Structure formats: C-alpha cells, structure tokens
Amino acid sequence: MPTTVEDPRTVEFDVRTDEMLVNMGPQHPSTHGVLRLVLRTDGEVVSEVTPHIGYLHRCAEKIGENLAVRQWIPYTDRMDYLAAMNMNLGWSLTVEKLLGYEPPERGRHLRVIIAEMGRIASHLVGMGAYGLDLGSFSPFLYAFRERERILDLFEAACGARLTYSYLTPGGATADLPSGWTDQCLKVLNEFEPVIADYHTLLTSNAIFVKRTAGVGVLSRKKAISYGASGPVLRASGVDWDLRRDGQPCYTRMYEGYDFKVICQRNGQYEAPPGAPKPPYDVVLGDCWHRFYVRMLEVVESIWLVRQAIDRYHRTDNLLPRDHGTPFKLTDKLPPGEVYLETEAPRGQMGFYLVSLGGSAIPWRARARSSCFSNLSTISDIGRGCLIADIPAIVGSLDIVMGEIDR
C-alpha cells in the first residue's frame, strides 16, 4: 500500500501555474536605464528573457558621418556616460591610428592617469548601484562619495563633470593644472583604505553572497561566443585584457607599466592583501565573480595611476608642455580604414573609421559597444532563474544603455 504522507516538495512541483508574461521596464529602477525585459514566467521561475533595447537610440553613427572626427568627440561622451573619458580615448586613438600619429610621452602618461581614474569612477558606480539592486542602500552612498571626489578632479582638469570631451586626437585639450596630481594622490590615499569597507559591506556579506553566488553563470565558452568582454569575460575565467593584449597603438600607452590582469587562474585570484577570498559556494562566471573582478580592478587601477603620475612628472623637463592637438578641423583625413578596440571599464569599446580621403569628414564612423554584446548574454544566463535574480544578473553585467543604443 502506498504511503499517504505526501512529500511537500512533490506537491510544490505538481502545482500547475499558468505561464505569464511579465514586463520589466523600460522604467524600472534596477534596469540601469531604459531597458525593457519581457519575462515569460511560470510561477517564480523565468523560462525566457527577451530584452528590448533602442529607447536611447540616437543614431550617433549617422551623426559621425556628417562631422569632422574631432567634432564627434562630444558624441562619444554620451555613449558610455559613466566612463566618458574612456570613450574619448577610444575614438582619439582610432583617429590617431589612421593618421599614424603618436602623442608625446607626457600626453600618453596623462591619458593613463585619466583613463584609469575614469575606470575607478565607473567601477564605483557599478559597485554602488549593484548594492542598490540587491537592496543594500549604504554602499551606493559610499561609492558616490568617492566618485564625487574623482569628478571634482575631472572638473578641475577640463571643466566638466560628466561629458568631458577632454581626450582628443593628438592628446588632450589641455595639460593638467598645477597641483592636480597632488590632489589626485591625496584622493587615492584616502580612497585606498576604504576599499576594505566595501568588501565588508558587500563582497563578503552573507546576504550579498547568497543573492549572487551561483546566479547567472556564464561559462567560458559562452562568454567568448557571445563576444562578452571586460570584467564579464574575465569573470568567466578568460585571461584577456586589451591593455595587455590589444593592438600595438593602444598597448604602447601602457608600455612599461606594471599591472595584473584580474582573472581566476588555476582556481585562484591574485588578490591584493586585505581582499576576501571567494566564498565556497560561488561558481566561476556567476554574478559574484563579475562583481569581485571589478573590485580587484579598482585596486589595479589605483596602482596604475600612481605609476603614471610618477612617469608624468619625470617627463616634465624633457618635452614641451604642449599637447594641444596638432589637427585643424578642416584637415583632410588620409584614405584608409582602421578598427581599434580599447579596454573601457565595461569591456572592449571598438571604433571603426573609414575614410576615403579628400575630406575631413569620415565616410563611416562606427562604434562597437561592449555592453551591447554583454547584454546579449541575458537571454541565455537568465533562463531558469527566479524573477528576483533578474535584477541581480542585469546589475552584474553593469550595462549603460547610452552605450548599447548609441
């Protein structure tokens, strides 16, 4: 005779629920901008995620086909608006690649300082907003407190706090003001010890780990196939960073610098002292790893900025203090086509420039967005998770819609 006591779990799975389409966004605080996700759900379980993008589409590429290369710089600001400096840098380097121009040494070190400070500021938002997604409010305030000080530095350098247009083809619009690097070092000295607090608040926080460990696992193979890049790719265990592996005209900027590519090798991270070890229940490629990689990259960036400031000052008397751009707006571009990817905070930001010659305006200006490819993984890694995990996954990809929609 069969037993009459039913296993409660069997009952749970026997309950038939109707499939329901849940619309998340475009105005949803945890979708980081205007992203709309249509979830096909069965009870709490998501069986299909369909992202709809394009709400911020401005066809920036069409604008780029109608402007001189330097005039497009402000439009690149508005792609990844949380790391506008890195967007400026990507386009500037692409133009320089076409022209075969190399900025002076001092300009190169200046760019490293600015690009890495931009990376820190961007990762701070990524980290703070991720806490917010998961219901922890205070890390957001701490992150913005630090980011604010970096924005103050950027404001001192170029006058803008969000859309800088600071790095241009040829170098930068102006040299750093006197005393800027001292301020910068002061900010870094005060920021560095605080990172331990962030680890306490989030990285090793039991609730945070429960929400992120094993959620949204992106395997190494899938990450490569989907063209994911940046921290999303490295968190899946792919040892790939364009600052080290990129094209020569980009890696030259980082020549002689000492930095590590943050990635798990042989099951281990080369974590700086003080950083917590991965908890036992995390899986390579999950949300926790993506977050952790960003946290460790901040430390690397701080170290890079320190080296760059040192080098920047050592070039003081060797080169004239002039890195205004050598190109006029009406200067004609040589014919040719170049594609260059740089390591922006969110991944590989690629620019493709086609010039037919005889004109200052490119025939085609194309921006390959890193978040565009990173987001396309969502229908794969979001399948089979719970509704509450969707904000955790989207947040861990750290997307900026301005860059996806362009």
Partner 1 sequence: MTHDALAFARLHAQFGDALSQPAVASGVSEQSDPWLNVEAAQIAKVAKFLRDDPELLFDFLNELTVVDYLPPADKKLAAAVGDERLEVVYHLSSLTRHKRLTLKVTTPRLVEGALPEIPTVSKVWKTADWHEREAYDLFGVTFAGHPNLQRILCPDDWQGHPLRKDYQSPLEYDGIRGR
Looking at 79, 99, 127, 213, which residue binds partner 1 (CB under 8 A)? 99
In this structure, is the dihedral angle defined by the CA atoms of residues 8, 10, 12 and 14, taken in order, positive or negative?
negative
Residue 151 vs 354, nearer CB to partner 1: 354
Instruction: Please state the closest distance from residue 244 (CB atom) to partner 1, in A.
Output: 10
Looking at 180, 259, 269, 363, which residue binds partner 1 (CB under 8 A)? 363
Site membership for partner 1, residue 67 (CB under 8 A): no
Binding segment for partner 1 among 24-32, 50-58, 172-180, 277-285 (CB under 8 A)?
A: 50-58
Binders of partner 1 in range 298-327 (CB under 8 A):
none
The string of DSSP letters for 6-59 reads: PPHHHHHHH----EEEEEE-SS-GGGSSS-EEEEEEETTEEEEEEEE--TT---
Structure tokens belonging to residue 183: 């301020």
Instruction: Please state the closest distance from residue 233 (CB atom) to partner 1, in A.
Output: 9
d(CA 112, CA 108): 6
Site membership for partner 1, residue 341 (CB under 8 A): yes
Site membership for partner 1, residue 47 (CB under 8 A): no
Site membership for partner 1, residue 348 (CB under 8 A): yes
Binding segment for partner 1 among 32-40, 199-207, 322-330, 353-361 (CB under 8 A)?
A: 353-361
Site membership for partner 1, residue 405 (CB under 8 A): yes
- Cis ω on the peptide bond leading into residue 26 (within 30° of 0)? yes
Looking at 274, 326, 334, 384, which residue binds partner 1 (CB under 8 A)? 334
Site membership for partner 1, residue 330 (CB under 8 A): no
d(CA 150, CA 183): 10
Instruction: Please state the closest distance from residue 202 (CB atom) to partner 1, in A.
Output: 30
Site membership for partner 1, residue 359 (CB under 8 A): yes
Instruction: Please state the closest distance from residue 285 (CB atom) to partner 1, in A.
Output: 15
β-strand partners of 165: none
* Cα–Cα nearest to 143, from 123, 163, 119: 123
Structure tokens belonging to residue 65: 């086909």
Site membership for partner 1, residue 386 (CB under 8 A): no
Binders of partner 1 in range 198-237 (CB under 8 A):
222, 224-227
Structure tokens belonging to residue 85: 């400096």
- What residues have CB less than 8 Å from 22, skipping those under 6 apart? 38, 39, 41, 387
Alpha-helical regions (H) of 78-104: 84-99
Binding segment for partner 1 among 56-64, 72-80, 264-272, 297-305 (CB under 8 A)?
A: 56-64
Site membership for partner 1, residue 364 (CB under 8 A): yes
Site membership for partner 1, residue 98 (CB under 8 A): yes
β-strand partners of 40: 21, 48
Looking at 41, 122, 264, 373, which residue binds partner 1 (CB under 8 A)? 373
Instruction: Please state the closest distance from residue 375 (CB atom) to partner 1, in A.
Output: 8
d(CA 106, CA 91): 19
Angle (CA) 351 175 347, round 5° = 30
Site string for partner 1, 100-139 (x = CB under 8 A): x---------------------------------------
Looking at 54, 135, 274, 384, which residue binds partner 1 (CB under 8 A)? 54
295: phi then psi, degrees, rounded to nearest 5: -60, -40
Residue 61 vs 175, nearer CB to partner 1: 61
Looking at 211, 368, 391, 394, which residue binds partner 1 (CB under 8 A)? 368
- What residues have CB less than 8 Å from 251, skipping those under 6 apart? 242, 243, 244, 245
Site membership for partner 1, residue 48 (CB under 8 A): no
Site string for partner 1, 257-286 (x = CB under 8 A): ------------------------------
The string of DSSP letters for 283-337 reads: -TTSHHHHHHHHHHHHHHHHHHHHHHHHHHHHTTTTS-S----S--TTPPBPSEE
Instruction: Please state the closest distance from residue 312 (CB atom) to partner 1, in A.
Output: 26
d(CA 342, CA 364): 19
* Cα–Cα nearest to 110, from 177, 187, 44: 177
3-state secondary structure of 190: helix
- What residues have CB less than 8 Å from 265, skipping those under 6 apart? 239
* Interface residues toward partner 1, by CB under 8 A: 53-54, 57, 59, 61-62, 97-100, 222, 224-227, 238, 240, 245-249, 334-339, 341, 348, 350, 352, 354, 356-359, 363-364, 366, 368, 372-373, 376, 405-406
